[in-house]
Amino acid sequence: MPELPEVETTRRGIAPYVVGRRVTGVLLRRPNLRWPIPPEITALLPGQRIDAVERRAKYLLLHTEAGSALLHLGMTGVLRVLPPDAPVGRHDHVDIALERTSTQAPRILRFTDPRRFGCLLWQPPGTIHERLARLGPEPLTDAFDGDLLWRRSRGRTAAVKLFLMDNAIVVGVGNIYASEALFRAGVDPRKPAGSISRARYARLAAEVKHLLAWAIERGGTTLRDFLAPDGAPGYFFRELMVYGRTGEPCRVCGTPIRQVTLGQRSTFWCPRCQR
């Protein structure tokens, strides 16, 4: 599943091609993805200029005066900017046609999603879609820090990894990045969230920020399915310290990496480096 760095890579990849351009048409090859595609997508989006492309958690928003198209890539979704005559594949479900400009030929923004766990929704102007309303802060902003984690964790007995992955606490820290950040911060992912000190949360928040920024620059983890809008894979996966390395020696101390299931997600840690 694309995580926050992959989604941010997508945003950065498509923005230069779509911002400031008018939508000339929307072609839906099916009426639904994970959920039904609302009628506003075909009724209101055509004719609108895309003023900005924003990311909120793992959602992308195409902002226009009439409202915003809200996209989620799901587990296997990809957004690509293509020529209008690009061949259509069996999993190419949505085409958003973009006008010709003085410097760019006509293009289409194509949403491909083999497993159809992604979505295309609509957010009216001046509102916050219900899927965004209860989200925590963005991890790369000043609103997220160790003090926030410490305050929100008091009295919590859930494992700190599950706490860190809770989108109501902070958005976008998925399974891979939670495992990696906890390793870099030296925190055992199984420890109760409420037992972690303020100082250790300060280090953990700093590692989350560093790790996500680092991954974004490398195009994400790309374990299997994700490609950037230009078709290039991410390379951060080559630098993972614990994720997916069960039984292999820790890159720091040589101790075999262990694996356990927390919240139905595989969790990896070094029993020597993480306490």
Tell me the catalytic residues: 2-3, 58, 265
Structure tokens at 91: 């999993």
Residue 156 in marked binding region: yes
Closest listed residue to residue 179, CA positions, set 160, 157, 151, 196: 160
Closest listed residue to residue 243, CA positions, set 202, 164, 184: 184
Q: 247: alpha, beta or left, given left = phi > 0 and alpha = psi -120 to 50? A: left
Q: How far apart are CA 72 and CA 170, in angstroms?
A: 18
Place of tokens 């198209």: 69
CB-based contacts of 136, cutoff 8 Å, min separation 6: 144, 166, 167, 168, 169, 170, 171
Residue 91 in marked binding region: yes
User: Which parts are annotated binding residues for DNA?
Assistant: 91, 115, 156
User: Which parts are annotated binding residues?
Assistant: 91, 115, 156
